[in-house]
Amino acid sequence: MAEFQLYCFAQSGNAYRAALMLNLIGADWEPIWVDFFAGGATRTPEYRENINEMGEVPVLVHGKKKLSQSAVILTYLANLTGKFKPQGEDEELESLRWIIFDNQKVNGFLGPFRFLKNFVPQQADPAVMAFMKARIYGALAIVNKRLTGRQFLVSDKPTIADISMTGYFYYPPGEFGFDIAKEHPAIGAWMERMKALPGWAQPYDLMPGYPFGTRPEI
Ligand SMILES: N[C@@H](CCC(=O)N[C@@H](CS)C(=O)NCC(=O)O)C(=O)O
């Protein structure tokens, strides 16, 4: 058995943050596929009783520890390994600030927007989609401005704030109907820098369950 297990599925950008971190730190880890779509696994009493009372992925298991919330998982792994760890109080607070902004306003909207666009049988209300798209563009403009003239979000080295921000960014542009990297050049350049890190992989190559509904051998 690998040292770390990650409950996840390929379509989850929230889980991607944790999977990417594990890969970037060179951890010995294995994914545990969660049948979110067809099986509704995260909504079952068993999942909520035994895996995560919040009914979400990602969940990281490390020995007796079971952690959820990608921000908590990233912090745990950074503290454990010293890798991608913000240095000193100022960087730690700055990193937390960007992670909260990301969770709430960047990937916090990108995830549900993509979900409504791709994974529900009925067409989503256009007014809802327009509202969400406007929120996404507003948040992406803020991130793009932050990254203009900077290498990474918090310091001249990548930290867990950068890993958190990658959430949904590397899914195919067709799944959003817009191209994050092309439309926001500073984000696009930062995405290339993140992509160049040893161990980087695209979400569909890192977590099981793609194409939709299938379970590849792991
Ligand atoms: N803030 C959480 C978000 C986790 C989350 O929303 N995960 C989704 C999958 S992308 C989920 O499991 N949703 C289940 C549900 O809402 O029923 C994190 O960063 O870990």
Q: What pTM does this model have?
A: 0.97
Mutate which of 14, 33, 34, 165 to test ligand 1's pocket (most atoms within 8 Å of Cβ)?
A: 14
**Residue labelled with tokens 């051998």:** 217
Query: Could you count the other beta carbons within 10 Å of the beta carbon of residue 196?
Result: 8
Atom number, ligand 1, closest to the C-alpha of residue 17? 19
Q: Is any atom of ligand 1 closer than 6 Å to the C-beta of 69?
A: yes
C-alpha 67 – ligand 1 centre gap (Å)? 13
Ligand 1 centre and the CA of 111: distance in Å?
9
Structural tokens at position 177: 């109907």
166 lines ligand 1 (CB under 6 A): no
Read off the tokens for 1: 């058995």
pLDDT string in tens for the chain (218-residue length): 999 999 999 999 999 999 999 999 999 999 999 999 988 999 999 999 999 999 999 999 999 999 999 999 999 999 999 999 999 999 999 999 999 999 999 999 999 999 999 999 899 999 999 999 999 999 999 999 999 999 999 999 999 999 999 999 999 999 999 999 999 999 999 999 999 999 999 999 999 998 875 554 43
The verdict on the CB of residue 14 being under 6 Å from ligand 1 is: yes
Indicate which residue's Cα is closest to atom 20 of ligand 1: 69
CA distances from 2 to 5, 6, 193 (A): 7, 10, 29
**Closest ligand 1 atom to the C-alpha of 115?**
10
Question: In what helix (H) or strand (E) does residue 61 lie, and over which residues does it extend?
Answer: strand 59-62
Backbone angles phi, psi at 112, to 5 degrees: -60, -35
The radius of gyration computed from the CA coordinates of the chain, to the nearest angstrom, equals 17
